[in-house]
Amino acid sequence: MGKRSIEIMVGGFVLLGIVGVLFLALKAANLGSFSSGDTYSLLAKFDNIGGLKVRAPVRSAGVTIGRVASITFDAKSYQGVVRLDLQRDAQFPSDSSARILTSGLLGDQYVGLEPGAADKPFAAGDTIAQTQSAVVLESLISQFLFNKAEDAGASKAPAAVNGAKK
C-alpha cells in the first residue's frame, strides 16, 4: 500500500469523525429535524416548568408532533407560560391536557399532550386549561426523607411516654 492511499484513508477517517461529531452536536441541541412545516401555536401555563427548555419536543403517544417555541413568565399569575408550536395536521380536542414529563429517570424534559374528548379542536393561539407541572426529583427526595424522619420521630415519642408511665 502506497503512502498516498494511506493518506487518503486517514483523510476519509477524519472526515467521517467530523461528520459524526456534527451529528451528535445537532442531536444534543435538538436541531436534528430542520422541518419548518405548517404549524400552529398553543399556550400552556405551568406552576413549575422544571428544566424544560426552548426547542424541547412536544409529544403525544410517544411521537414528536411539535417543539417548545418560547418560555416566559406571567407576572400576574406567577406562572411559566410555554408556547408550543404544533404540526398543523396534529389537531387536538379543546379539552386536551399538557404535562411536563421526563425522558427516562434523569433525561431531558418534554411536553406531553393527552387528547381529550371534545368535538371542537384547539384554534391557533388558544390556551390549554388543564396542565400538570414538572415533577422535580430533588423535591420528591427531600419530601421522602422528611416524611421518614417524621415517622422515625413519631415512633420514638410514644415509647418514651409509655416508659415514663411504668
Three-class secondary structure assignment of the chain: CCHHHHHHHHHHHHHHHHHHHHHHHHHHCCCCCCCCCCEEEEEEEECCCCCCCCCCEEEECCEEEEEEEEEEEECCCCEEEEEEEEECCCCCECCCEEEEEECCCCCCEEEEEECCCCCCECCCCCEECEEECCCCHHHHHHHHHHHHHHHHHHHHHHHHHHHHHC
Look up the pTM and report it.
Answer: 0.67
Per-residue pLDDT of 67-80, as tens digits, reads 999 999 999 999 99
9-13, 87-91, 103-107: range with lowest mean pLDDT: 103-107
Is residue 52 pLDDT above 50, yes or no?
Answer: yes
Q: Domain map of the chain by residue range? A: 1-32, 36-142
Per-residue pLDDT of 7-35, as tens digits, reads 999 999 999 999 999 888 877 765 555 45
